[in-house]
Structure 1
Amino acid sequence: MNAGSVDIVRRTCRRVGLDRNPMRRREDRWQSGVGILLAVLVLVTVPLVAVLIGRPIYDAETRAVQQETARLHRVDATVTEVGKTPLYAPITPVKVSWRDADGTARSGDYHSNVLVEVGAIVPVRLDATGRLVEPPSPARPMSRAVLTCAAVVAATVIACAGGYLVLRCGLDRRRARLWETEWAAAGLTWGGRGAN
């Protein structure tokens, strides 16, 4: 380590209360220690949550999406009417028609995520009753896993920050009482009169 690196390490240790300053009270060391412990807890929580909570949720949701998709029947439908695409979403409402397995003509509303024209062929999904349905989103497993992990990490951060603030307030009150006691003792020593 060069001299600049050593100075940075010393300054950092002094700022977080890990130096050997004789003016630091036991309460100051407690506060620093608990703060570092809680910071490490938050940093360890993120990968643990991803492995222990996020991965099982992702796997379960992936299986659910695959099962839902397997229950749907794919049919090629013809676009019969194209609606107006809203500005806020790249989804075009269209009317489509198709024939069932027995040859019956059917029609329904469909939302295309690509631009289509009348007469275009689009793949649609039907449920067991022959009703037109949207297939489950392939992004659903990842989004649910990420949202759940984010909620757990946020709850951990809030709990750790709240615990630290409660500890700090309690230690601040204790430091204030000790400060007043020491000033009263100093008044007796320095002036001989003590507190009035």
Structure 2
Amino acid sequence: MTIGRARVVRRACRRVGLDRNPLRRREDRWQTAIGALLALCVVVSVPLVVLGVGVPIHAAQTRALHAEYARLHRVDATVTEVGKTPLYAPVTPVTVSWTGADGLPRTATYHSAIVVKVGATLPIWLDGADRVTEPPSATRPVGRAVLVSAAVLCAVLIGCAGSYLAARLALNRRRSVLWESEWERAGLTWGAHGAS
């Protein structure tokens, strides 16, 4: 270890209270221990939240996605008319036609996320009544699992940070009381040595 790194390590240890400074009070050591314990809680909570919250939510959302896929069906429709793309939305309204399950031709308005021309083929999703619907989102299970896990982890982090600040405030009050009592004791004996 180089001298520069050793200084950085010593300085970091001193800042978090892990040095052997004889002027550190018991309250200072308690604050360091509480901070280390709460930091450990945050680190341990990450895999616990992922396994306890994220994995079940992902599994439930995946089941819901498969049920949605089973309820809907995909067909290839032909674009018969292209509308004007509005400036405020990145979709193009188009009229599409396809042959229904009963063999009859169907037409509907569809909002395409890509630019298409008349005669192009678009995959569309239909519900049980042959109505055009939005396709199931394949990223929804991961997105929901990450979102809920992140919310739970933020709650854990806020709880641990709040606990640390509350403990620090209580320990600061205790240090202030000790500081005042030590000054009072010092004032009683101040200058007593040397007077004859």
TM over 0.5: yes
Structure 1 gap ranges (5+): none
Whole-angstrom CA distance in 2 between matches of 1:43 and 1:17: 20
Residue 25 of structure 1 pairs with residue 14 of structure 2: no
Q: Tell me whether 158-167 or 34-43 shows the greater mean CA deviation.
A: 34-43
Displacement of 1:83: 2.9
Which AA in structure 2 matches 1:143? G
Alignment of 1:132-171 (within 5 A): 132-171=132-171
Letter in 1 for 2:182: E
Q: Which has the larger displacement, 166-175 or 54-63?
A: 54-63
Give the letter aligned to residue 27 of structure 1: E
Q: What SS does structure 1 have at the residue aligned with 2:95?
A: strand
Shift of 1:55: 1.9
Q: Does 1:13 align with 2:23?
A: no
C-alpha displacement of 1:172: 0.9
| CA shift digits 1:75-122 (9 cap, x unpaired) | 221222223334565432222222212233322222222211122111
SS in structure 1 of the partner of residue 159 of structure 2: helix
CA RMSD of aligned residues (A): 1.8
2:75 aligned with 1:70: no
Question: Matched residue of 1:77: which SS?
Answer: strand
**Residues in 2 aligned to 1:108 and 1:83: alpha-carbon distance in whole angstroms:** 13
Q: Which residue of 1 aligns with 2:97?
A: 97
Residue 115 of structure 2 is matched in structure 1 by 115
Question: Which AA in structure 1 matches 2:121?
Answer: I
Give the whole-Å Cα distance in 2 for the aligned partners of 1:15 and 1:25.
14
Q: Which residue of 2 aligns with 1:58?
A: 58
Compared CA separation, residues 86 and 156, structure 1 to 2 (3 A): farther
Query: Residue type of the partner of 1:95?
Result: T
Instruction: Structure 2: state its 5+ residue gaps.
Output: none
CA distance in 2, matches of 1:146, 1:86: 33
Shift of 1:6: 3.2
Residue 67 of structure 1: CA displacement? 1.9
Question: Which range is displaced more, 170-179 or 78-87?
Answer: 78-87
Q: Which amino acid aligns with 1:109?
A: T
Name the amino acid aligned to 1:29: R
**Matched residue of 1:129: which SS?**
coil
Q: TM-score normalized by structure 1?
A: 0.89
- Cα displacement (A) at 1:59: 2.2
Give the SS at the match of 1:53: helix
TM-score of the two chains, using structure 2 as the length reference: 0.89
- Cα distance in 2, alignment partners of residues 103 and 162 from structure 1: 65
Q: Does 1:80 align with 2:97?
A: no
Shift of 1:10: 2.0
**Distance in 2 between the 1:145 and 1:112 partners?**
28
CA distance, structure 2, for counterparts of residue 21 and residue 14 of structure 1: 8
> Residues of 2 paired with 1:130 and 1:44: CA distance?
50
Classify 1:167/1:139 alpha carbon distance in 2 versus 1 (closer, same or farther; 3 Å): same
Deviation at 1:41, TM superposition (A): 1.4
Structure 1 distance, partners of 2:89, 2:33, is: 50
Cα offset, 1:185, TM superposition = 0.6
What is the CA-CA distance between 1:164 and the residue it aligns to?
Answer: 0.7
In structure 2, the partner of 1:176 is: 176
